[in-house]
Amino acid sequence: MFSKFKSGGGAAAAASQPHVLESNPIWNHFEVGKQQTASAGPENVWKIFDGYRKSDGKEVSIFLFEKRSVEKIHKPKRKEAVTEILRVGVKHLERFRHPKTLQVIHGVEECPDTLAFASEPVLASLANVLAAEEQKIAMMQTAEYDMLDIEIKYGLLQVTEALSFLHYSQVMHRNVCPSSILITKKGSWKLCGFEFIEGVNESDATDVVPLPPWTNRISKMTQPNLDFIAPEVQQKKIGSILSDMFSLGMVICAIFNHGRPVIQANHNVSDYLKQLDLLDQQVMNLLPRVPLPLQEAVTRLLHKDPRQRPTSQVLSSLKYFSDPSVHALQFLDVINMKDPTQKAHFYKNTLKEVLPYIPRKLWYQHIWPYLHHETRSQEVFAAVLQPMLFIIQNSSVVEYENILLPNFRPLFSAPRSIQGTVVLLENLHIVIEKTRTDEVCREVLQILYNSFESNTIQIQTAAFVAVPNVTDYLDDMAIRRTLLPKLKLAFEKSTTDQRILMKALTCILDRLEKQQIMEEVLPLLWEVKLQEPEIIVRVVGIYRLMLSDKKYGLSVNVMATRVMPSLLPQTVNPGLTLNDFMNLIEVLQDMLNHIDRNQRNKLKLDNLSLPSPEKHRPLRHQYSIDNMCVPFNIPDLRVNKRQTSSAEDMNRKNSAGSISMTGSAENMTRKNSVTGKPSSQMSHSNSVIFPKSGRLGI
């Protein structure tokens, strides 16, 4: 990744390296990249290349020391001294293994020309990054490496914990500087450069022990970095674990000073001592650039009196490091030491909660590689999927295709746990939305189709849950020939919750042909047990949709004979809310209106007259005796006073002569009833007579 370095190592030199490496035994185990990517160690003497292990393709970084590079500068007898220092440093790395120290994958291999070993994949040393920051130019083939605040906070905590481990192991590092801190491709900061470690006082690690100062009499490659050495080491030839803390304070200052060390002695002891006298003032000038929660700690770390400096344990407990996002990243570093239950809880809860607060750069660089690795474990597969799907959902299509998909695609066909398959199905739409190519999209949908055929109820159910989310991505043929038959089978076997099946059916209804709806869908609906309010609501919703368009084939005959008889009893279902009840009544009324219009038109065509119910209602109302009032006049009604039988005989004899008179009286009565004139104007006294009492005379 790095093609040029402040400390040397150009592209021309890198081009010849593969030929040199071929003579080293490490070439038998690893394929090595042709171009140098970074540098590290004393005076950046280690050249770093990308590579991978031949046996299993595991990605690594190859550290190469070319012995002739020392001969150019130093006398030949000093070449062995540098080689021995580097060889011992790698062995110490292997001995003091810790999650916060550089992990050696393959130990030192040596030949007359080179020294080499393999480590976990490395992006760059902190020295490379700070050199790029100092010069404000791109030092790599790619853009300049910009460190985020959370990366610095997380990285410093990692280095502090690495020092805690060493100090607990009763050794001091002696060369804590940017070239001894490597940034892995996952974004972790790892402490290395164990060439100068020294034992400490066993009873009290803060007690001083004799240490050699820096001198011009021996090669600078065989000594710690002068710019970061503690004052007591250089001035008094003594040191302790607190000397490492001074060096760490100098590293912190360099980070917040645009990559420049506070002391730049340029391998000159006199310059070092002069600048040391001005150290307090330099630190005071720099403090405003240091985060406020870290300022006091930096001041104490760079105190010339070692007893005023905090230990690594005290430093790691600073509030500055109390960040949930940092703690989550820390947990990932030791995730392999946790049991499946702890891992699952972390992935489902802790990590998913802090992901929105972690910069996207770290999603891809640090978190995603861990998640991808964990997908190999079926015990935590379902839990790992949740943060993975969150990252996919919140990434751009380009980021998904270039960074995430290559690692995520194998999961489409890989064996999965039941719960893992359920989680993937329930979130299938997230993957499909980001998957542009038809080929990959078909692979994703194949997960859905295969799940319908699963013998596991949980997987079948999850497949139907996924249908509403992915309907837009399914073609009509797949819906008609694959999805609908599986849905019917699930209905018949009663293996899936009918509420879920109803929701799936609603989503695909408008994609089915009329004949399919009539022959396959409607019989399904008639078999649904209308008891639970939620099922009733969904069935009513399907019928409402069918009523909206004739293409669904819901005939009036089906409405009258099958649908309404099944829905009517539910009008008195106590579980329905008022809103649900009103929707049910509206659908029933709508069906009744369809039947009314259809039958009326049919009967008219048959030349049958069927008065409208709306016409009957006013007539019934008009003729009802409840609407009659008295007194009233009844046309053609004649009521006479009660007579004796002799009088009746006389009337019969004179009936013929009274016909004309009666007719005249009746005409007058009709006229009177129309005009509303009082009966006193009638000309005949024997017409309709109402006594004053209001009762009819019989």
pLDDT reported for residue 413: 86
The DSSP 8-state label assigned to residue 656 in this structure reads T
Percent of the chain topping pLDDT 90:
55
How high is the mean pLDDT of the chain?
83
CB contact at 8 A, 176 and 228: yes
**Tokens 């022990």, residue located:** 209
Q: Confidence band (pLDDT; 50, 70, 90) for 662?
A: very low
Instruction: Indicate the range of 48-52, 56-60, 102-106, 664-668 predicted with least confidence.
Output: 664-668
pLDDT reported for residue 529: 82
CA dist., res. 158 & res. 100, Å (int): 6
**DSSP-derived secondary structure for 190-211:** EE--GGG-EE--SS-TTS-EE-
CB contact at 8 A, 91 and 110: no
Q: Is the pLDDT of residue 594 over 70?
A: yes
CB contact at 8 A, 224 and 196: yes
* Global pTM value: 0.73
Query: What are the structure tokens assigned to 669, written together?
Result: 């009565």
Length of the chain counted residue by residue: 698
CA dist., res. 123 & res. 50, Å (int): 9
pLDDT reported for residue 427: 93
Mean pLDDT of 420-434: 92
Instruction: Indicate the range of 26-35, 295-304, 478-487, 576-585 predicted with least confidence.
Output: 478-487
pLDDT reported for residue 637: 45
Half-sphere exposure of 431 (CA within 13 A, CB side): 28
Mean pLDDT of 123-127: 95
**Tokens 């917040």, residue located:** 256
Mean pLDDT of 168-182: 97
pLDDT reported for residue 52: 95
pLDDT reported for residue 141: 41
| Structure-model confidence comparison of residues 319 and 14, the more confident one | 319
CB contact at 8 A, 303 and 295: no
CA dist., res. 227 & res. 282, Å (int): 14
pLDDT reported for residue 614: 54
pLDDT reported for residue 611: 56
CA dist., res. 243 & res. 224, Å (int): 12
pLDDT reported for residue 74: 52
Q: Which pLDDT tens digit goes with each residue over 258-268? A: 999 999 999 99
Query: Which residues have a Cβ under 8 Å from the Cβ of 268 and sit 6 or more positions away?
Result: 216
Q: Is the pLDDT of residue 71 over 90?
A: no
CB contact at 8 A, 130 and 254: yes
Q: Which pLDDT tens digit goes with each residue over 220-239? A: 999 999 999 999 999 999 99
Mean pLDDT of 402-414: 91
Q: Confidence band (pLDDT; 50, 70, 90) for 76?
A: low
What is the Cα 429 distance to its own chain's centre? 11
SS (H, E, C) 11-57: HHHHHCHHHHHCCCHHHHCEEEEEEEEEEECHHHCEEEEEEEECCCC
Mean pLDDT of 91-113: 95
Q: Is the pLDDT of residue 516 over 60?
A: yes
